[in-house]
Structure 1
């Protein structure tokens, strides 16, 4: 038993029975278990009990043992002045001030199912895919779990977008560029690509985006790849970058994207060239994304994006590849861009102006296939349906934020599994 589990059981009222008696055998009726308090002070606020024919309203403090009141140095703390009940798992020490103030102590040891404690202990020590894998039952997944979890993820991303807007003078186009760069970087280079996008004044992108050569040269030059040209094309890019650098007084940057363990089509060279081509080929990118009504509309924006011709037979600078083909972004990659960069921004942009945006965004996710990775496969092995990214995105978020961190007591699935 630990205090977190005890608070959880109290909050959700998970007991064998409610015929409570205090440690002295007096009847104790809990009229209101109180509001769970995550700040300083008592664990539960605004509780209400009936004790010795009196109805008392105030706060309730929980401890594993009675003596924890002393060890936690609560005595004399004004945050606990309005205490009406001390709840413990095990009573091991009489507290004089409680006797003096007629504050009852409730020992819960005999009111709690021992199986719950054993289940929780096992969850904490489990090293399988998810802590509850052995007792997981897809039938216990709460109704509407997928949509509520996905919306929680979108709200978190919306908060990050708000911070990005604050740092760009509310420039949605600049924020879109930052988030697209993050998506084009994939998992390995996402943070580096986003940092690169944040360092560029987006006004410069707007000024040169009609010149695909300059746009590509800008990206490659900022990454420091043009210092020692190895072929004629690199010399042209270097010349253009030096021109831009002098004209717009660009600072020196030092970004070092990773190539190791990436498939050649995902090399940062290819992805940056494709990102440059996107902005060259779609001059009204932001407005098209915001006005898109379906996944098909969004797909049309990205479907013809490709790296420049130099990359037809290159994956890195100065090294000709025997493979010669156009590096067009794939449908799977477009889906990742839409999921990770486009839909969160559309959600943020419309959520305060459109009552229908939630269902519209969820429908977008329903039109996109579920991702294919080890985490999704493991959920599917547990019989969790993955009909679209509406489900996969929710379960990926839940795995990262609850399962990996073993926040079983904050998990709506865990609540159902522990109760049954």
Structure 2
């Protein structure tokens, strides 16, 4: 038992019975368990109890052991003056102060199911995919649970997007470009690609988008790749970047994108060329994304995007590859871009103007296949099979924000596990 679990049980009223008596044997009725306080002071505020025929209103403090009141030095703290009840798991000492002030002590040890403590201990075990792996029961997870987790993720992402919009004078086109750059960078180069996109004014994209070579030169030059040209095409890109550099006062990045842990089709050279192709092909990209009514319409925007002809025979600068062919975006990669860059922005744009925004965005996610990675496989091994990206995104979010951090007492799954008695 620890204090966090004790507070959790008190807040959600998870007890074997509610026929409470204080440590002196007096009947004790909890009229209001109080409001959980996450700041300094008593654990629960504005509670209400009936003790010895009197109704008392005030604060409630919880401890694993009664002696913790002494160790925590609460007696001299004015925040605890309006205390009406001391709740403990084990009453190991009598607190004279409470006897003098007629403040009852409630010992909960006999009101808590021991099997629940075993469940909680099992949640804290190491070497499991998720803390509750051994007692996980997919049948106890409500149908709406995963979509509620996805909405939490979207709301958190929306806060970040709104901050970016404020920083960019509410320019959705610019923020979309930054988000797309991040998505095109995948995990390895995401931050670097976004840094690249934010290093110059988006207006430059609009001014040169008719010239795909200049777009590539802008991206390659800003990433500091063109200092030492290895072939004629690199020399062309370098000349174009030098022109743009003077015209727009551009400064190259110090950090160069990484190739490690990437398959050739995902090399940053190809991804930046494809990003240039996207903006060469589509003017007013944000408007096209917003007007798309389903995933097929979004896919059509990206399907013709491909790296320039130089990359038909290259994966890296100056080295001719034995594998030749046009480098289009794959359907799987387009899905990742939609999931991570397009749909969160679309949600942010719609949520304040469209009462059906939530249903509309969830429907987009439901139309996309689930991601494939070790975390989704881990959930699958427990019987939780993602049918679409709405569910896989929720699983990834939940794993990162709850399971990895062992926030079982704040988790909807943990709540269900602790709430239900074993069969």
TM normalised by structure 1 equals: 0.98
Q: How does 1:5-404 map to 2 (within 5 A)?
A: 5-404=5-404
Q: 1:126 to 1:140 in 2, by over 3 A?
A: farther
Structure 1 position 24, deviation (Å) = 1.2
Confirm or deny: 8 A CA contact 1:11 1:36 kept in the other structure: yes
Count of residue pairs brought into register by the alignment: 420
**Shift, 1:366, TM fit:** 0.8
CA displacement at 1:91 relative to structure 2: 1.3
Write the distance in 2 (CA, Å) between the matches of 1:335 and 1:411. 28
SS at match of 2:124: helix
TM-superposition CA deviations, 1:24-49 (whole Å, max 9, x none): 11111111111112122211122111
CA deviation after TM superposition for structure 1 residue 298, in Å: 0.5
Task: Choose 179-188 or 79-88, whichever is displaced more.
Answer: 79-88
What's the counterpart of residue 3 of structure 1? Answer: 3
Cα deviation, residue 81, structure 1: 2.2
CA distances 1:384-408 after superposition (whole Å, capped 9, x unpaired): 1321111111111111111111111
Contact 2:225/2:256 (<8 A) preserved = no
Instruction: Say which is worse superposed, 270-279 or 126-135, in terms of deviation.
Output: 126-135
SS state at 2:29 partner: strand
Contact 1:63–1:88 (Cα < 8 Å) also in 2 = yes
Shift of 1:276: 0.8
C-alpha displacement of 1:191: 1.4
Question: How much does 1:305 deviate?
Answer: 0.5
Q: Tell me, what secondary structure is at the counterpart of 1:94? A: coil
> Which structure 1 residue ranges, 5 or more long, are not aligned?
none
Deviations 1:249-286 (A, max 9, x none): 11242122221110000011110111111011011101
Distance, in Å, in 2 between the alignment partners of 1:311 and 1:79 is: 69
TM-fit CA distance, 1:360: 0.5
| Displacement of 1:73 | 2.4
Contact preservation (8 Å) 2:66, 2:94: yes
Helix, strand or coil at the partner of 1:234: helix
Kindly provide the CA deviation profile for residues 89-119 of structure 1, in whole angstroms up to 9, marking residues without a partner as x: 1112222322222111111111111111122
> Could you tell me how far 1:248 is from its partner in structure 2?
1.0
2: distance between equivalents of 1:85 and 1:25?
15
The 10-residue stretch of structure 1 (169-178 or 92-101) with the greater mean CA deviation from structure 2: 92-101
TM-score (norm 2): 0.97
SS of the residue 1:29 aligns to: strand
- What CA distance in whole angstroms lies between the structure 2 residues aligned with 1:185 and 1:100? 67
Q: In structure 1, how many angstroms separate the alpha carbons of the residues matched to 2:311 and 2:191?
A: 24
Deviations 1:220-266 (A, max 9, x none): 00110000000000000000001111111112421222211100000
Give the conservation status (yes or no) of the 8 Å contact 2:221–2:252. Answer: no
- How far is the alpha carbon of 1:87 from its aligned partner? 0.7
* 8 A contact 1:142–1:413 mirrored in 2: no
Measure how far apart 1:288 and its partner are: 0.5
CA distance in 2, matches of 1:346, 1:307: 26
How far is the alpha carbon of 1:372 from its aligned partner?
Answer: 1.1
User: Could you tell me how far apart the structure 1 residues matched to 2:205 and 2:342 are?
Assistant: 19
How far residue 362 of structure 1 moved from its aligned partner, in angstroms, is: 0.5
In the TM superposition, residue 63 of structure 1 has moved relative to its aligned partner by 1.0
Unaligned 5+ residue runs, structure 2?
A: none
Kept in 2, the 8 Å contact 1:8–1:409? The answer is: yes
CA contact (8 A) 2:173 2:284 kept: no
CA RMSD of aligned residues (A): 1.1
Give, in whole Å, the separation in 2 of the partners of 1:204 and 1:68.
Answer: 64
Q: Which moved more, 1:296-305 or 1:204-213?
A: 204-213
8 Å Cα contact 1:142/1:412 also seen in 2: no
Post-superposition offset of 1:207: 1.4
